[in-house]
Every structure is written in structure tokens, then in C-alpha cells.
Structure 1
Amino acid sequence: MAGRRSRGRLTQVLDRVPLQPPWTVPEFLGWLAEDTGRDIALSPWAGAITEPGTRCGLLLGGPTRFVIRYDASRSVRHQRQQIFHEVGHILCRHPGEAFRPTEGTLTEGLSLDGIEYMMRRTTFDSPTEAEAELVGTHLAVLSRGPIELDAHGELHRIASTFDALR
């Protein structure tokens, strides 16, 4: 029963997306910014880390913007997964926890203006984390290309037609 609800919710969320896959991260975030009426910024974790690949994604938000933190030391595929997991929280309209940002590890290198809440993983088995992971994985699988803002989605869509012919 829970699996059927999850698939139904996934379909409901994905049906809202008007983009033709494969999309790039910048294309998707451009649509999402338009859809939510909020700026969306990508921000790799700043500062030194003791062990590469140990940071998860993080979503910070407020009334006018979202900031998605991700681990740039991971593969591009994993970076997309982290980013789209956080996008899953936005699309599913998960409420974040109230957050009064101060200078520190979570906010290093960021402007703190307008940040009022955050979504961070405190447990791996909560319903919101499972839903964001399901949505995020589907979105990440449908994406291509690098994370940079100048990625050309149209080239990835053209190339995907040749993949289908193999």
C-alpha cells in the first residue's frame, strides 16, 4: 500500500515538470525558479573537509530564495543526485526546520540574507527523506551534463536520440 502511494505521489510531482528530458541542472533550476518565484543558487560546500565525499546535500530557504549545498568533491553524477534530492524537497513542498543562520560550517561562504529554514538529513528513514530521495533519483536519472550554468541541454537531448538507436 505504501509503495502504491509513493508511486502515485512521484507521478503527481513529475507530471508538474514541463521540461523534456534529458535536462541539465541549470535548465531544471531555471524552470524551478520560475515555478516557485524564488531564486535558486547552487553552492558547493566551502572550506576544507577532513574526508572527501563525506558531505551530503543541504537545502536552505526563505521567502525569496533557495540555496542548495552539495559536495563538489563527488562525481558529477553524485553531485546531480545530491542537488536533485534537495529539489525533491522543494517540489514536494516539505517544510524545513526553522533556522537562524550564523557564520559557521553550514553557511560558510554564503550570504545569510533571507535564510529562514533548512532541510537537512537527521535520519535516513523519515517519510520526507524517502520521498525526496525517490523524486530526486528520478530527476537525476533524467538529467545529463555538468553542473555548471553554461551546460547546453539541447546538445544532450540531441545526443540522447542517438543513444536510443543503439
Structure 2
Amino acid sequence: MFSRLTRRSHVHDVLSQIPLIAPWTVGEFLDWMAEHTQRKVILSPWTSPHEEFGGRCGLVWGTDDSYIIRYDPDHTVRHQRQQILHECSHILCQHEGEPFCPTESVLTEGLDINSLRWVMRRDTFDTPTEAEAELLGTQLAVRSKGPVDATSLGALHRIAGTFGPHS
């Protein structure tokens, strides 16, 4: 079981390995993460209605060569960044996903279910891995700016940041 001090130390260690200059965009971060992990990182927003499974939290799927991150496109841009970077935090902290037996469902909608090997999803908020991913995800989100699409230019956010705080 991780203590708070151990979690904070691990989060600090992970943050110290990120060579990006803040504020970065989600696209810049995912490009770095793909290079760092040697796996593609694919954003896949939820497309089914909220009501189908009681809300749309983020989750991450693992395939042989990629991570697929689901997030809710109906949330604010800040919340989208938080969801995405929380899921990235599970990967960076090397949290283990659970094996997945492919089935067609709302969770796999639009994905090639035969390529899915594992999933990391939240059953409860009160676990050491969720606390660690939330702590790191928040630290990453605070350092990020702009929309979650790949066309956002981080350099513009860094230049604008010299003149004052922006979201």
C-alpha cells in the first residue's frame, strides 16, 4: 500500500522525467508520451449517450502497440484535459490494467475489440492507484493549455503565458 509520502515522491519522480516546457498542449504531451512509451497514444472520445452506462469517465485500453484513451467530449476543455491526463498518469505510473475478454458493448463502441488486450477503468475512487493517478493527472493538467485536439500550438500558449495566465 502506498503512503501519501510515497505517492507524492513517485509523482515527483514521474514529473521530473518529462522534458516538455509548460504550458504544453495535450497533443504535444501525447506525442512525447508515445515516444517515451514506444506506443501510439490514441484519443477516442465517447460517442454514446451518458445515460447508457451511468456517466462517462475516462478509461484507457491497451492493445499490442497502442493506448486508447476514452474521455467525455461534452465536458469543459479543462475537464477533458484532466480526464485524458489522468489516464496518461496510470500509464506513466505503470499501473496494471485488468485483462479484457472482447465483447461488443458501449465501452468498446467504435473500437476493434479483437485488438484490445486490457482495460484500466475505475470501480471506485478510493484506491491507491486512483489517488496517485489523480495527483499526477492534476499536476499534468495544470501544466497544459488549449483544446485537446492535435492542431493546438503549444508555442502560442507558452508565448501568451509570458503576458499572464490563460486557460
Alignment match, 2:57? 56
How big is each residue's C-alpha offset from its partner over 1:111-132, in whole Å with a ceiling of 9 and x where there is no partner? 2343100100011111111111
Deviating above 6 A after TM superposition, structure 1's stretches of 4 or more consecutive aligned residues are none
Determine helix, strand or coil for the equivalent of 1:41.
Answer: strand
Matched, 1:28 2:52: no
Q: CA deviation at 1:5?
A: 1.5
Give the letter aligned to residue 149 of structure 2: E
CA deviations over 1:106-155 (Å, ceiling 9, x no partner): 01012234310010001111111111111001000100000111000000
Provide, for residues 37-84 of structure 1, a one-character-per-residue CA deviation record: whole Å limited to 9, x for no partner. 111100111222338x92100100022000000011100000000000
Q: What code does the residue aligned with 1:159 have?
A: A
The number of aligned residues is 163
Q: Could you tell me the percent identity over the aligned residues?
A: 54
Amino acid at match of 2:17: R
Residue of structure 1 equivalent to 2:92: 91
Aligned equivalent of 1:163: 164
Listed as ranges, the gaps of 5+ residues in structure 2 are none
Give the Cα–Cα distance (whole angstroms) in 2 for the partners of residues 162 and 112 of structure 1: 47
Partner of 2:40: 39
Structure 1: runs of 5 or more not aligned: none
1:8 aligned residue: 9
Q: Distance in 1 between matches of 2:69 and 2:5?
A: 29
Q: CA deviation at 1:102?
A: 1.9
Contact 1:23 1:142 in 2 (8 A): yes
Relative to structure 2, which stretch is displaced further, 108-117 or 68-77? 108-117
- Structure 2 equivalent of residue 119 of structure 1: 120
Note the C-alpha offset of 1:31. Answer: 0.4
SS of equivalent to 2:131: helix
Q: Does 1:142 align with 2:140?
A: no
- TM normalised by structure 1 equals 0.93
Hey, what's the Cα distance between the residues in 2 that align with 1:160 and 1:23?
A: 11
One-letter amino acid matched to 1:144:
K
**Distance of 2:157 and 2:112 partners within structure 1:** 33
